[in-house]
Structures are given as C-alpha cells and as structure tokens.
Structure 1
C-alpha cells in the first residue's frame, strides 16, 4: 500500500519528518496485518465475534498476563522511536496514540476468507492514511468527505507498493501563487508525474499538439483540454525543484487511462502514453517494484514537500492547554 505524503493543500506528518514516517508506516502496516491474519486463522473471538460475557471459551481466550506485558513493552518501544525534542510527556503520549492504528472489526461483516479480510484491512488503513495526511500533533486540516470515497485516490494507495510515496493533486506555492499539479508518485528509482484520463469504458482520446483534444465514444464527440499542458507544467516544476536541491533522479511523465484508448501519433518522445492496450504491462511492472526506500527518494520527497501549500488550523486541545 503506497503512502500518502501530501493530499492537496492539507497539513501532513510527512512534512515534519520524511525520514521517520515512511519506515514507521511500513513497519506498522506489516505488524498489524500479521496479528490480524493470525487472529483470523485462529478464529480469535475477541476480535471477530461479538463478546458474550457468559461464554467460558471466550473468557479462556483473554490475553494472558504475559501477553499484556509484551504489549506494554511493544508500546514503549514504539514510543522511544518518536524523536521529539523539548516537548512535554503529555504531547509524546498523545502523539503516540495518534500514530497508532487498530483494525476495527465492527465496521464490517465477518470476512468469509483471507482475501476479503485483507480488503477490509486496506480500507481501514486508507482512512488511517487520510488522518496522517491531514493532521499533525498540533495542527489539522478539514478533510472533504468526498476524499473518503475517492476511487482514484484509493487506486494509487491500495494498488502500489509500500515504498511508493504519493502526492495526490498537490498544491504548490510558487512565487506567491498557488499552482495545482498532477499527482506525483516518488518511487525508490523514479519520480512519476501522472495525469489520469477517466471516462466511459473504451472511450478514445484523440491527441494533438493543440490546446484541445477530442474524446470520442460511439457517435459522440467532446472537446477536452489537452492533458499535455498540465503534465508538462507538473514535470517542469518537479524538475526545477529537484535541480535546485542537486537531486538526480529520473522524472517520468505519463498520461494514463485504464479503460480507454489514446490516439496520439505525434506524442513527444519523453511522454509515456499508458492506455488499455499497454496498461496491464505497465501496472504489473510498477507493482513488482521491490526496491527498499532509498535516501535519494526521501530527499526528493522532502524537497517537493518544502513547496507544498498548507492550509490548516491549530488543534483546539493545544490552545486550551496554553490558555
């Protein structure tokens, strides 16, 4: 599951510490899934079934004293990993609670198999990612409800590896003006600027070097703004930022349609067209990326996040504490 490091103009934890959070997310996701999978396979009633106080079998399955001690030790170790200086103990504890993720079986019907459980887990993890990408310990941004049902955002996060860092529809502050960019995915080896074309199944997009393209479906035609304009702007800004920080990593620009076709014979050599005929090959290649998170990748992410526009407000609990 890819990591959402920037969501539009929301405040993000990754902006505070791009080194800490990516590795923490990967570790947390893996640990929670292993525990959840084990609970499902052993039919742990404490997690997957309604609790019945008079069910003696369930009482026997309560965590032992040793299990509780292990859990306490684990939480302490997690707490030690949070490198926060000059903050109160209360803030550390609150931040630790904010960073934790626990699967809530009550949100779904009992999964019939492991694959269904995995999807439920990813759906809850998706909501957890929205929290990380819209709040810090002291600030928060109000998340639009539509983002919780954004299929394209879910696609980017749920279908790609943990080591991919996603800036979804980011707004950058450049020369005192906000600029909306296409989605950016930073992998361990490349930076991908992606413009998605979503329309009716098997729609055909006729490309050109003009300001407008033509979308065809059956006997219907419609003019659309050329996606080349947007993707070129995104690539230019990304490259200029990386060059400013002396970061050398390939930048790819893609026009992507998963369910349609693109007819663009005069496409620039450095523009990748991914459509229905070659989508599966590209998709599987991206998913099979096994490289670990790299230092150059984190540097690239940090440099781009530095220009991210952020609209947030101070969390009321800190205002109450200081008043």
Structure 2
C-alpha cells in the first residue's frame, strides 16, 4: 500500500518527520493486518494467544523494518538533536491508533483483505491531514476518489505519493497534479478523464480536441500542466543536488488519447493500456532508496500547509 505523504495543502505527519512515519506505517499496517486476520480466523476478539501468534508472524517483517530504519537514520544524521526531541511527543497522539475490526463476516481472505484496506485508506487520509497539534479539513471528494484509493491500495509500500500537492514558489501557491516517487524514479502524472469513452486528439498547440459521441470541443492541452510540474520538480532536485530520474505520464482510465508526438521521457496511457501499465508499476518490490527519500523531502520542504489548531476545533465542538 503506497504511502500518502502529501494531500493538497493539508498538514501531514510526514512533514513533521519523514524519517519516522514510513517505518511506523509499515509496522502498524503489518501488525493490525495480522490481528484482524486472527480475529477473522478464530471468529473471536483479539486474545493473548492471538498476540503470541502475531509476534511469530511479525518476525519476518522485523528485518525489513530494521533495514528501513537504518536508511532513515543515515538520512537523519545531520538534523539537530533538539528537532528530534520535539517530535517525541507525537507518539502520544491518540490519532496514531489504528484498530480495524471485522465489521461483517467476509467470505474469503481476499474479501477480508479488501475490508482491511478500506479501513486503512481512511486512516491514511487522517495521517495526511492531521498532526498532534494541527488538523486540516478534508474535502469529502477525496474520500470518494477512486484514483487516489487505487493508488494507495494497489501500489507497494515503498511508493511515496503526493496527490494534487500545493507548493510555494517565490511566496506564490502553485497547484500540481500527481507525483509518485518510487525507488527508481519520480513519476509526474497528469490525469485526463472526463466522460467515459471520450477521445482526445493532441498536438503541440495550446488546445486539444475532445470528441464524445457527436460532440466535439476544444480542451486545454494537458501537457502544459504536466510539463510545468516536471520543470518545477527538476529545478527543486537541481537546487538540492539530487540525482534522481524524472518521467512524465499522461494517463486516462476511461478515455482514448491520440498523441503521436511523445518523447523519450513521456508515456501516454489510455484505457486500452491502463490496466497493464498499472499492474506493471505495482510489481516493483524494491525497498525505499536514499535518493528517493531526499527527493520526497525536497518537495515537502516547499509544500504549502493550511491547518488549524486542534484545540480550537475541540472548543468549537464543545460550543456547539
């Protein structure tokens, strides 16, 4: 399950400490999956014997988490000790607790896993919109966003997702599309989706043609947004001396794209090839890399955050 590092301009736990939360997410995810599976298999609530079984099941995961932790310590070595201490209180945050339960009786392990992933998706949104002291109000559309859900639920743990992030450049907010940082490349993704079976004809001009049934209209060239995003990311990497490949992707799950002018760093994927492409990027089992980690931090450093103090939210709730 990919990790949602930044969503729009919401406050994110990964902003507080990118060296901590990837490993914490992996540990929490694996532990709670084992607990939920035991609960389903036994048809009972979690017991002490279940805890023992979980510990045995977690042994294999422990080595991988230690590898992640070593990598993060290397990255974190130059940080001030006081900065590290300032984040220790985060562990006390009750919203870190993720306790999924079997609400109904799934008929198979596959159904149980999907039931678990749906609960974990909601928890990831929470991590990407709140910290110990701050909280952002999440637009309801993101809870229903099928593309966001598929990215998070189907891609590997080592993928770091920035979903429609807003960054600040020269004090001005800039809205980007989707950035997926894998262990081997930074994927800049623009999505072209409107009506089902819509056909887009592209060229180098400012506008493309969209055809849907008998209707034909002009739409803004989606590569303008994609190219701008790619240039911004490339400049951020250059300023931080980060040597990490960047590739452009124009995708459509439900439409057709005719664009014969693609380059070596551009992939155009429409409904004819989307399933195959998505399956292929989900098969990479490479763990997080140091350069990937630096790339994500470079983007987080310029991210815009809009949030309010959680104490104020609680006061408002009491007043109501």
Instruction: Give the TM-score category using the shorter length.
Output: 0.7 to 0.9
User: Is residue 251–residue 269 contact of structure 2 (8 Å, CA) maintained in 1?
Assistant: yes
**2:58 maps to 1:45:** no
* RMSD, aligned α-carbons: 2.7
**2:255 maps to 1:248:** no
User: Is residue 254–residue 271 contact of structure 2 (8 Å, CA) maintained in 1?
Assistant: yes
Per-residue deviation at 1:66?
A: 8.6
Q: Residue in 1 aligned with 2:128? A: 133
Cα distance in 2 for residues equivalent to 1:18 and 1:44 = 37
Cα distance in 2 for residues equivalent to 1:295 and 1:317 = 38
**2:270 maps to 1:275:** yes
**Larger-gyration structure (1/2):** 1
Cα distance in 1 for residues equivalent to 2:26 and 2:134 = 24
User: Is residue 35–residue 50 contact of structure 2 (8 Å, CA) maintained in 1?
Assistant: no
Q: Residue in 1 aligned with 2:99? A: 102
Equivalent of residue 226 in structure 1, options 221, 225, 230: 221
Per-residue deviation at 1:203?
A: 2.0
User: Is residue 262–residue 273 contact of structure 1 (8 Å, CA) maintained in 2?
Assistant: yes
Per-residue deviation at 1:38?
A: 2.4
Q: 1:135 to 1:173 in 2, by over 3 A?
A: same
Per-residue deviation at 1:92?
A: 5.3
Q: Residue in 2 aligned with 1:210? A: 205
Cα distance in 2 for residues equivalent to 1:254 and 1:93 = 37
Q: Residue in 2 aligned with 1:27? A: 27
User: Is residue 138–residue 318 contact of structure 1 (8 Å, CA) maintained in 2?
Assistant: no
Q: Residue in 2 aligned with 1:59? A: none
Per-residue deviation at 1:242?
A: 0.7
User: Is residue 16–residue 87 contact of structure 2 (8 Å, CA) maintained in 1?
Assistant: no
Cα distance in 1 for residues equivalent to 2:261 and 2:97 = 50
What's the CA shift string for 1:240-297, capped at 9, x where partnerless? 0011111111101110012221111123443210112332332122011010011111
What's the CA shift string for 1:114-135, capped at 9, x where partnerless? 1111111111101100111011
Q: Residue in 2 aligned with 1:164? A: 159
Q: Residue in 2 aligned with 1:155? A: 150
Where structure 1 has 5 or more consecutive residues not aligned to the other structure, the ranges are 48-61, 71-80
Q: 1:316 to 1:263 in 2, by over 3 A?
A: same
Identify which range, 16-25 or 171-180, moves more after superposition. Answer: 16-25
Identify which range, 275-284 or 204-213, moves more after superposition. Answer: 275-284
Q: Residue in 1 aligned with 2:59? A: none
Cα distance in 1 for residues equivalent to 2:50 and 2:196 = 56
Per-residue deviation at 1:167?
A: 0.4
Q: 1:280 to 1:18 in 2, by over 3 A?
A: same
Cα distance in 2 for residues equivalent to 1:247 and 1:40 = 46
User: Is residue 101–residue 128 contact of structure 1 (8 Å, CA) maintained in 2?
Assistant: yes
For normalisation by structure 2, the TM-score amounts to 0.83
Equivalent of residue 306 in structure 1, options 257, 276, 301: 301
User: Is residue 211–residue 226 contact of structure 1 (8 Å, CA) maintained in 2?
Assistant: yes
Per-residue deviation at 1:88?
A: 10
Per-residue deviation at 1:65?
A: 12
What's the CA shift string for 1:20-66, capped at 9, x where partnerless? 1112212211221122122222x33226xxxxxxxxxxxxxx54799
Per-residue deviation at 1:100?
A: 2.4
Cα distance in 2 for residues equivalent to 1:121 and 1:270 = 36
Where structure 2 has 5 or more consecutive residues not aligned to the other structure, the ranges are 56-68, 70-80, 316-320
Q: Following superposition, which runs of at least 4 residues in structure 1 exceed 3 angstroms of deviation?
A: 62-67, 83-89, 317-320
Matched length:
290
